[in-house]
A = this chain, B = another copy of it.
Amino acid sequence: MTQFDSPVVAVDIGGTKIMTAVFSNDGRMLAKDVCPTLVDEGVDAVIERLASAIYTILNRNGLVTSRLAGIGIACAGGIDSASGVVVTPSPNLPDWFDIPLQDIIEKRFNIDTFVLNDASAAALGEQRFGAGQEVKNLVLVTLGTGIGGGIIIEGNLYLGARGSAGELGHMTVDEGGPVCGCGNIGCLEVMASGRAVAREAIRRLVQGEKSSLTEMADGKVESITTEQVAAAAAAGDSLALYVLSRASHYLGVGLVNIVNAFNPEMIILGGGMAELDSLYVEPAKKLVIERAFSISTRNLSIVTAQLGNEAGVYGAAAYAIEQITGRTA
Protein backbone atom coordinates (compact mmCIF):
# COMPACT_ATOMS: atom_id res chain seq x y z
CA MET A 1 0.00 0.00 0.00
CA THR A 2 1.42 3.35 -1.02
CA GLN A 3 1.20 6.34 1.24
CA PHE A 4 -1.34 7.80 -1.18
CA ASP A 5 -3.69 4.90 -0.50
CA SER A 6 -3.63 5.70 3.22
CA PRO A 7 -6.28 7.68 5.07
CA VAL A 8 -5.87 11.19 6.43
CA VAL A 9 -6.90 12.64 9.76
CA ALA A 10 -8.72 15.96 9.63
CA VAL A 11 -9.12 18.28 12.59
CA ASP A 12 -11.19 21.44 13.09
CA ILE A 13 -10.25 23.49 16.15
CA GLY A 14 -12.97 25.93 17.11
CA GLY A 15 -13.66 28.03 20.17
CA THR A 16 -15.85 25.43 21.85
CA LYS A 17 -15.17 22.09 20.15
CA ILE A 18 -12.36 20.14 18.54
CA MET A 19 -13.69 17.88 15.80
CA THR A 20 -11.52 15.04 14.53
CA ALA A 21 -12.30 12.76 11.61
CA VAL A 22 -10.70 10.04 9.51
CA PHE A 23 -11.12 10.33 5.75
CA SER A 24 -10.30 7.94 2.94
CA ASN A 25 -7.97 9.46 0.37
CA ASP A 26 -10.92 10.03 -1.96
CA GLY A 27 -12.65 12.17 0.64
CA ARG A 28 -15.12 9.82 2.33
CA MET A 29 -15.54 10.39 6.06
CA LEU A 30 -14.85 7.08 7.83
CA ALA A 31 -15.15 8.21 11.44
CA LYS A 32 -15.79 11.36 13.44
CA ASP A 33 -15.27 12.45 17.03
CA VAL A 34 -15.78 15.63 19.03
CA CYS A 35 -14.27 16.87 22.29
CA PRO A 36 -14.40 20.24 24.08
CA THR A 37 -11.70 22.84 23.31
CA LEU A 38 -11.69 24.43 26.80
CA VAL A 39 -9.93 27.54 25.49
CA ASP A 40 -9.59 29.00 28.99
CA GLU A 41 -7.04 26.34 29.95
CA GLY A 42 -4.54 27.95 27.61
CA VAL A 43 -2.89 27.22 24.29
CA ASP A 44 -0.66 24.35 25.48
CA ALA A 45 -3.56 22.51 27.06
CA VAL A 46 -5.66 22.88 23.90
CA ILE A 47 -2.85 21.52 21.74
CA GLU A 48 -2.41 18.62 24.20
CA ARG A 49 -6.12 17.90 23.93
CA LEU A 50 -5.89 18.10 20.14
CA ALA A 51 -3.04 15.55 20.09
CA SER A 52 -5.01 13.25 22.40
CA ALA A 53 -8.04 13.56 20.16
CA ILE A 54 -5.96 12.42 17.17
CA TYR A 55 -4.62 9.40 19.10
CA THR A 56 -8.13 8.60 20.28
CA ILE A 57 -9.78 8.56 16.84
CA LEU A 58 -6.89 6.47 15.47
CA ASN A 59 -7.21 3.97 18.33
CA ARG A 60 -10.97 3.69 18.06
CA ASN A 61 -10.67 2.88 14.38
CA GLY A 62 -7.80 0.44 14.62
CA LEU A 63 -5.36 2.79 12.86
CA VAL A 64 -1.74 3.59 13.65
CA THR A 65 0.08 6.77 12.72
CA SER A 66 2.40 4.96 10.33
CA ARG A 67 -0.58 4.13 8.12
CA LEU A 68 -1.67 7.78 7.76
CA ALA A 69 -0.89 9.85 4.66
CA GLY A 70 -1.17 13.13 6.52
CA ILE A 71 -3.03 15.36 8.94
CA GLY A 72 -5.07 18.40 7.87
CA ILE A 73 -5.95 20.99 10.48
CA ALA A 74 -8.52 23.75 10.13
CA CYS A 75 -7.91 26.39 12.76
CA ALA A 76 -9.51 29.72 13.61
CA GLY A 77 -7.21 32.73 13.26
CA GLY A 78 -4.77 34.26 10.83
CA ILE A 79 -2.82 31.29 9.50
CA ASP A 80 0.43 31.37 7.56
CA SER A 81 -0.31 28.21 5.59
CA ALA A 82 3.15 28.17 4.02
CA SER A 83 4.66 27.47 7.47
CA GLY A 84 1.56 26.25 9.31
CA VAL A 85 1.84 28.92 11.99
CA VAL A 86 -1.20 30.49 13.67
CA VAL A 87 0.08 34.06 13.51
CA THR A 88 -2.83 36.09 14.83
CA PRO A 89 -5.69 34.98 17.06
CA SER A 90 -9.41 35.05 16.33
CA PRO A 91 -12.27 35.74 18.74
CA ASN A 92 -12.58 31.95 19.10
CA LEU A 93 -8.95 31.26 20.05
CA PRO A 94 -7.99 34.58 21.61
CA ASP A 95 -4.45 33.81 22.85
CA TRP A 96 -3.09 32.07 19.77
CA PHE A 97 -0.21 34.33 18.76
CA ASP A 98 2.56 32.80 16.63
CA ILE A 99 1.77 29.17 17.44
CA PRO A 100 3.76 26.83 15.12
CA LEU A 101 0.93 24.31 14.97
CA GLN A 102 2.15 22.41 11.91
CA ASP A 103 5.60 21.95 13.43
CA ILE A 104 4.23 20.80 16.79
CA ILE A 105 1.90 18.18 15.27
CA GLU A 106 4.41 16.99 12.66
CA LYS A 107 7.02 16.39 15.37
CA ARG A 108 4.52 14.72 17.64
CA PHE A 109 3.19 12.26 15.04
CA ASN A 110 5.99 12.23 12.47
CA ILE A 111 3.40 12.78 9.72
CA ASP A 112 3.06 15.54 7.12
CA THR A 113 0.69 18.12 8.55
CA PHE A 114 -1.11 20.95 6.77
CA VAL A 115 -2.77 23.88 8.55
CA LEU A 116 -5.26 26.32 7.07
CA ASN A 117 -7.77 28.87 8.28
CA ASP A 118 -11.09 27.32 9.29
CA ALA A 119 -13.20 29.45 6.95
CA SER A 120 -10.89 28.64 4.03
CA ALA A 121 -11.26 24.98 4.98
CA ALA A 122 -15.04 25.34 5.05
CA ALA A 123 -14.99 26.92 1.58
CA LEU A 124 -12.96 24.01 0.20
CA GLY A 125 -15.17 21.48 2.00
CA GLU A 126 -18.36 23.02 0.61
CA GLN A 127 -16.88 23.19 -2.90
CA ARG A 128 -15.69 19.58 -2.91
CA PHE A 129 -18.55 17.95 -0.98
CA GLY A 130 -21.30 20.47 -0.15
CA ALA A 131 -23.26 23.43 -1.53
CA GLY A 132 -20.61 24.52 -4.03
CA GLN A 133 -19.94 21.35 -6.01
CA GLU A 134 -19.18 22.09 -9.68
CA VAL A 135 -19.07 25.85 -8.91
CA LYS A 136 -15.82 27.35 -10.19
CA ASN A 137 -15.77 30.72 -8.46
CA LEU A 138 -17.34 31.04 -5.04
CA VAL A 139 -16.87 32.83 -1.75
CA LEU A 140 -17.87 31.34 1.60
CA VAL A 141 -18.60 33.64 4.52
CA THR A 142 -18.86 32.21 8.03
CA LEU A 143 -21.25 34.19 10.21
CA GLY A 144 -20.66 33.32 13.85
CA THR A 145 -19.01 34.96 16.85
CA GLY A 146 -16.62 36.38 14.26
CA ILE A 147 -16.88 36.61 10.48
CA GLY A 148 -14.50 34.63 8.30
CA GLY A 149 -14.13 34.02 4.60
CA GLY A 150 -12.85 31.46 2.14
CA ILE A 151 -12.28 31.91 -1.58
CA ILE A 152 -12.51 29.37 -4.41
CA ILE A 153 -11.07 30.50 -7.75
CA GLU A 154 -11.38 28.29 -10.84
CA GLY A 155 -12.33 25.37 -8.59
CA ASN A 156 -9.34 25.66 -6.27
CA LEU A 157 -8.86 27.15 -2.83
CA TYR A 158 -7.18 30.54 -3.04
CA LEU A 159 -4.95 31.21 -0.04
CA GLY A 160 -2.83 34.08 -1.37
CA ALA A 161 0.86 34.68 -0.86
CA ARG A 162 1.11 33.28 2.69
CA GLY A 163 -2.21 31.54 3.25
CA SER A 164 -4.04 34.41 4.89
CA ALA A 165 -6.28 35.42 1.97
CA GLY A 166 -10.00 35.48 2.62
CA GLU A 167 -10.13 37.60 5.76
CA LEU A 168 -13.38 39.04 4.47
CA GLY A 169 -14.61 39.83 7.98
CA HIS A 170 -11.78 42.30 8.23
CA MET A 171 -12.67 44.61 5.39
CA THR A 172 -13.59 48.10 6.61
CA VAL A 173 -17.20 48.82 5.72
CA ASP A 174 -17.61 51.84 7.98
CA GLU A 175 -14.57 54.00 8.63
CA GLY A 176 -16.71 55.77 11.26
CA GLY A 177 -17.24 52.49 13.13
CA PRO A 178 -15.51 51.09 16.22
CA VAL A 179 -12.07 49.47 16.44
CA CYS A 180 -12.18 45.77 15.59
CA GLY A 181 -10.39 43.05 17.55
CA CYS A 182 -7.93 42.83 14.63
CA GLY A 183 -6.87 46.46 15.12
CA ASN A 184 -8.56 47.72 11.96
CA ILE A 185 -11.55 50.12 12.04
CA GLY A 186 -15.21 49.39 11.27
CA CYS A 187 -14.56 45.90 9.89
CA LEU A 188 -17.49 43.79 8.72
CA GLU A 189 -16.88 41.58 11.77
CA VAL A 190 -17.16 44.40 14.30
CA MET A 191 -20.34 45.68 12.61
CA ALA A 192 -22.22 42.50 11.73
CA SER A 193 -21.01 39.41 13.64
CA GLY A 194 -22.80 37.55 16.42
CA ARG A 195 -20.53 39.22 18.93
CA ALA A 196 -21.30 42.63 17.40
CA VAL A 197 -25.03 41.96 17.80
CA ALA A 198 -24.69 41.04 21.48
CA ARG A 199 -22.33 43.93 22.20
CA GLU A 200 -24.61 46.51 20.56
CA ALA A 201 -27.64 45.19 22.48
CA ILE A 202 -25.70 45.33 25.75
CA ARG A 203 -24.43 48.84 25.02
CA ARG A 204 -27.96 50.11 24.47
CA LEU A 205 -29.38 48.34 27.56
CA VAL A 206 -26.58 49.69 29.76
CA GLN A 207 -27.48 53.17 28.47
CA GLY A 208 -30.99 52.56 29.79
CA GLU A 209 -32.95 51.58 26.68
CA LYS A 210 -35.98 49.39 27.41
CA SER A 211 -36.25 45.84 26.12
CA SER A 212 -37.64 42.43 27.03
CA LEU A 213 -33.98 41.36 27.01
CA THR A 214 -33.46 42.82 30.48
CA GLU A 215 -36.03 40.43 31.93
CA MET A 216 -34.78 37.55 29.75
CA ALA A 217 -31.31 38.03 31.26
CA ASP A 218 -32.60 38.37 34.84
CA GLY A 219 -31.23 41.90 34.83
CA LYS A 220 -27.68 40.76 34.04
CA VAL A 221 -27.60 42.67 30.78
CA GLU A 222 -23.80 42.45 30.43
CA SER A 223 -24.08 38.71 29.83
CA ILE A 224 -26.76 38.85 27.13
CA THR A 225 -25.98 36.50 24.25
CA THR A 226 -26.56 36.70 20.51
CA GLU A 227 -29.05 33.84 20.85
CA GLN A 228 -31.06 35.86 23.38
CA VAL A 229 -31.12 38.88 21.07
CA ALA A 230 -32.30 36.65 18.21
CA ALA A 231 -35.02 35.12 20.41
CA ALA A 232 -36.19 38.54 21.58
CA ALA A 233 -36.24 39.82 17.99
CA ALA A 234 -38.28 36.81 16.87
CA ALA A 235 -40.76 37.67 19.65
CA GLY A 236 -41.02 41.24 18.37
CA ASP A 237 -38.77 43.13 20.81
CA SER A 238 -38.02 46.42 19.10
CA LEU A 239 -34.51 46.93 20.49
CA ALA A 240 -33.50 43.41 19.47
CA LEU A 241 -35.08 43.89 16.04
CA TYR A 242 -33.20 47.13 15.53
CA VAL A 243 -29.86 45.67 16.59
CA LEU A 244 -30.24 42.67 14.29
CA SER A 245 -31.41 44.77 11.35
CA ARG A 246 -28.41 47.05 11.78
CA ALA A 247 -26.06 44.05 11.72
CA SER A 248 -27.93 42.66 8.72
CA HIS A 249 -27.51 45.97 6.91
CA TYR A 250 -23.75 45.86 7.41
CA LEU A 251 -23.68 42.22 6.35
CA GLY A 252 -25.31 43.38 3.12
CA VAL A 253 -22.68 46.09 2.69
CA GLY A 254 -19.94 43.50 3.15
CA LEU A 255 -21.56 41.13 0.65
CA VAL A 256 -21.79 43.96 -1.91
CA ASN A 257 -18.04 44.47 -1.51
CA ILE A 258 -17.46 40.76 -2.06
CA VAL A 259 -19.72 40.67 -5.13
CA ASN A 260 -18.08 43.73 -6.72
CA ALA A 261 -14.57 42.47 -5.99
CA PHE A 262 -14.98 38.78 -6.90
CA ASN A 263 -18.01 38.52 -9.24
CA PRO A 264 -18.53 35.01 -7.85
CA GLU A 265 -21.09 32.57 -9.18
CA MET A 266 -22.08 31.72 -5.62
CA ILE A 267 -21.77 33.02 -2.09
CA ILE A 268 -22.19 30.36 0.60
CA LEU A 269 -23.21 31.56 4.06
CA GLY A 270 -22.20 29.33 6.96
CA GLY A 271 -22.07 29.60 10.75
CA GLY A 272 -24.82 29.95 13.33
CA MET A 273 -25.94 33.42 12.25
CA ALA A 274 -26.65 32.14 8.71
CA GLU A 275 -29.71 30.41 10.20
CA LEU A 276 -31.31 33.75 11.15
CA ASP A 277 -32.98 33.94 7.80
CA SER A 278 -35.67 36.61 7.73
CA LEU A 279 -34.11 38.80 10.44
CA TYR A 280 -30.52 38.81 9.22
CA VAL A 281 -29.75 37.02 5.94
CA GLU A 282 -32.71 38.06 3.76
CA PRO A 283 -32.42 41.85 4.21
CA ALA A 284 -28.69 41.55 3.46
CA LYS A 285 -29.42 39.68 0.22
CA LYS A 286 -31.84 42.43 -0.79
CA LEU A 287 -29.14 45.05 -0.25
CA VAL A 288 -26.83 43.11 -2.56
CA ILE A 289 -29.38 43.29 -5.39
CA GLU A 290 -29.94 46.99 -4.74
CA ARG A 291 -26.32 48.08 -4.53
CA ALA A 292 -23.92 45.69 -6.25
CA PHE A 293 -23.01 45.88 -9.96
CA SER A 294 -25.91 44.46 -11.95
CA ILE A 295 -23.57 42.34 -14.13
CA SER A 296 -22.30 40.66 -10.99
CA THR A 297 -25.70 39.89 -9.46
CA ARG A 298 -27.32 38.50 -12.63
CA ASN A 299 -26.06 34.96 -12.22
CA LEU A 300 -25.27 35.09 -8.53
CA SER A 301 -26.77 32.70 -6.04
CA ILE A 302 -26.45 33.25 -2.29
CA VAL A 303 -27.05 29.96 -0.50
CA THR A 304 -26.71 28.36 2.91
CA ALA A 305 -23.85 25.97 3.65
CA GLN A 306 -24.75 22.27 3.49
CA LEU A 307 -22.09 20.58 5.58
CA GLY A 308 -22.92 22.40 8.81
CA ASN A 309 -20.22 22.11 11.42
CA GLU A 310 -18.49 19.36 9.43
CA ALA A 311 -17.42 21.75 6.63
CA GLY A 312 -14.11 22.41 8.39
CA VAL A 313 -13.04 18.78 8.66
CA TYR A 314 -14.17 18.04 5.11
CA GLY A 315 -12.08 20.97 3.90
CA ALA A 316 -9.08 20.10 6.09
CA ALA A 317 -9.18 16.56 4.69
CA ALA A 318 -9.44 17.79 1.08
CA TYR A 319 -6.60 20.25 1.67
CA ALA A 320 -4.30 17.58 3.12
CA ILE A 321 -5.14 15.12 0.33
CA GLU A 322 -4.55 17.75 -2.37
CA GLN A 323 -1.29 18.91 -0.78
CA ILE A 324 -0.04 15.31 -0.60
CA THR A 325 -1.12 14.25 -4.08
CA GLY A 326 -0.62 17.55 -5.86
CA ARG A 327 -4.01 17.01 -7.46
CA THR A 328 -6.47 19.90 -7.53
CA ALA A 329 -9.53 20.76 -9.61
A153 touches B158 (CB 8 A): yes
Whole-angstrom distance between the Cβ of A67 and the nearest chain B Cβ: 33
Whole-angstrom distance between the Cβ of A140 and the nearest chain B Cβ: 13
Complexed CA–CA distance, A154 and B163 (Å): 13
Complex interface bits, A139-173 against B, C-beta within 8 A gives 1, otherwise 0: 00000000001010110001111111111101111
Q: Inside 8 A of A168's CB, which chain B residues have their CB? A: 260-261
Whole-angstrom distance between the Cβ of A198 and the nearest chain B Cβ: 21
Report which of B78, B80, B151, B263 forms a contact with A164, defined as CB distance below 8 A: B263
B162 touches A262 (CB 8 A): no
Complexed CA–CA distance, A158 and B263 (Å): 10
Report which of B174, B184, B290, B295 forms a contact with A162, defined as CB distance below 8 A: B295
B185 touches A291 (CB 8 A): yes
A16 in contact (CB, < 8 A): no
Number of copies: 2
Stretch from A22-30, A200-208, A296-304, A310-318 contacting the other chain: A296-304
In the complex formed, the residue of B with least CB distance to A183 is: B291
A257 in contact (CB, < 8 A): yes
Whole-angstrom distance between the Cβ of A169 and the nearest chain B Cβ: 9
Complexed CA–CA distance, A12 and B7 (Å): 53
A226 in contact (CB, < 8 A): no
A114 in contact (CB, < 8 A): no
A161 touches B261 (CB 8 A): no
Complexed CA–CA distance, A261 and B185 (Å): 15
A167 touches B299 (CB 8 A): no
A326 in contact (CB, < 8 A): no
Q: Inside 8 A of A167's CB, which chain B residues have their CB? A: 260-261, 263, 293, 296
A137 in contact (CB, < 8 A): yes
Residues of chain A having any CB pair with chain B under 8 Å:
78-80, 87-88, 136-137, 149, 151, 153-154, 158-168, 170-177, 182-186, 250, 253, 256-257, 260-265, 290-296, 298-300
